[in-house]
């Protein structure tokens, strides 16, 4: 079995866990979870160093979920990584659960920051990257963020800071799905030309299809192997709802409410396409 087919199974399971958590609440940021699953599969299944039994292992690569509302996707990745147990999935968003609807470091093992107030992940990542370098710890800091966070000034303050300090141990992952709370990103606050902006801020930039596992894998490998004393950003163009056609096509898919029978339909679809994909 090739690495990419393993990763495709990982991505499939991440999507499936996310859908099952969505079903617990009847709603959620499912579109983002389906769209970001491939990047998470590569991060936790290929790129990152970590020990599932010891989420605080000093040499681990740090993964900051700046966009706390992607928690449903991230918990799915943590289950796939073996850091939290699959059984906990049923508690998602429930009272006294370790899996609140917005991601918080104080609740969940493997969660490195309390996200949700957008535009804070990258500045924290700058501090952690400086700290790791100070300790001669070769770990990477990955900051996972949404394109909506590009509206926040603090993101660009941090981008400037990271290149000023030559943070080669910082890799920023941006999900460009072009959907924000109030509508398409281009209408909320246009951020293109994005690659040019990051490059102008002194970053090594790649822009790839975030739902093409091979391209995603290559981009992670390139970002890690680079010798330049620069922070690295990977801009991932993703499709909201990826893998479940009726969710891909839903017009308002920033925060999805799904009718009860549709959850099973979505899971059935995923299962079916995965079976076909593996067989082919």
Partner 1 sequence: MSATTEKKPRLTTSAMIASIASEGQRVKAAPFGKALVDLAAARPDIVGMTADLAKYTDLHLFAQAYPDRFFQMGMAEQVLVAAAGGMAKEGFVPFATTYAVFGTRRAFDFVHQVIAEENLNVKLCCALPGLTTGYGPSHQACEDLALMRSIPNMMVIDPCDALEIEQAVPAIAAHQGPVYMRLLRGQVPLVLDEYDYQFELGKAKLLRDGKDVLLISSGILTMRALEVAKSLDEIGVGAAVLHVPTLKPLDTQTIVREARREGRLVVVAENHSEIGGLGEAVATALLSEGVAPRFRRIALPDAFLDAGALPTLHDRYGISSAAITSSVKGWLD
Residue with Cβ nearer partner 1 (20 or 67): 67
Angle at 33 between CA 232 and CA 39, to 5 degrees: 30
144 is a site residue for partner 1 (CB under 8 A) = no
Task: Identify the H or E element spanning 186.
Answer: helix 185-189
# binding residues, partner 1 (CB under 8 A) = 31
Among 30, 33, 81, 124, binds partner 1 (CB under 8 A): 124
23 is a site residue for partner 1 (CB under 8 A) = no
Angle at 118 between CA 113 and CA 121, to 5 degrees: 40
User: Footprint of partner 1 on residues 87-116 (CB under 8 A)?
Assistant: 104-106, 112-114, 116
Among 32, 102, 144, 161, binds partner 1 (CB under 8 A): 161
Secondary structure of residue 43 in the 3-state scheme: helix
280 is a site residue for partner 1 (CB under 8 A) = no
What's the CA gap between 96 and 88, in Å, rounded?
11
**Distance in Å, CB of 66 to partner 1, minimum:** 10
CB atoms within 10 A of CB 95: 6
What's the CA gap between 99 and 113, in Å, rounded?
14
160 is a site residue for partner 1 (CB under 8 A) = yes
The interface region with partner 1, picked from 75-83, 121-129, 199-207, 217-225 by CB under 8 A, is: 121-129
List of E strands, the chain:
27-28, 62-65, 141-146, 170-176, 179-180, 183-184, 204-209, 232-237, 256-257
Among 134, 261, 279, 280, binds partner 1 (CB under 8 A): 134
138 is a site residue for partner 1 (CB under 8 A) = no
User: What tokens does 275 get?
Assistant: 């079976």
By CB under 8 A, name the binding residues for partner 1: 104-106, 112-114, 116-117, 119-120, 123-132, 134-135, 137, 153-154, 157-158, 160-161, 164-165
């Amino acid at each position: 079995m090739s690495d990419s087919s393993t990763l495709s199974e990982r991505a499939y399971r991440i999507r499936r866990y996310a859908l099952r958590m969505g079903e617990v609440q009847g709603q959620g940021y499912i579109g983002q979870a389906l769209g970001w699953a491939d990047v998470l599969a590569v991060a936790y299944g290929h790129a990152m160093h970590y020990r599932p039994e010891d989420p605080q292992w000093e040499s681990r690569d740090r993964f900051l979920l700046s966009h706390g509302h992607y928690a449903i996707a991230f918990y799915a990745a943590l289950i796939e990584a073996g850091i939290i147990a699959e059984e906990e999935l049923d508690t998602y968003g429930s009272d006294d659960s370790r899996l609140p609807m917005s991601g918080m470091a104080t609740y969940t093992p493997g969660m490195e920051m309390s996200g949700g107030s957008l535009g804070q992940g990258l500045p924290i990542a700058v501090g952690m990257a400086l700290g790791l370098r100070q300790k001669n710890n070769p770990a990477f800091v990955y900051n996972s963020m949404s394109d909506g966070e590009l509206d926040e000034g603090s993101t660009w303050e941090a981008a400037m800071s990271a290149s000023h300090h030559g943070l080669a141990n910082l890799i920023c992952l941006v999900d460009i799905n072009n959907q924000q709370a109030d509508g398409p990103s281009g209408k909320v606050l246009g951020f293109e030309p994005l690659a040019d902006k990051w490059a102008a801020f002194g970053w090594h930039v790649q822009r790839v299809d975030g739902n093409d596992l091979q391209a995603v894998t290559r981009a992670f490998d390139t970002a890690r192997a680079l010798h330049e004393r620069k922070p690295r950003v990977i801009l991932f163009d993703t499709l909201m709802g990826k893998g479940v056609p009726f969710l891909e096509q839903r017009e308002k898919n920033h925060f999805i409410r799904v009718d009860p029978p549709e959850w099973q339909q979505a899971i059935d679809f995923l299962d079916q396409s995965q079976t076909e994909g593996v067989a082919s």
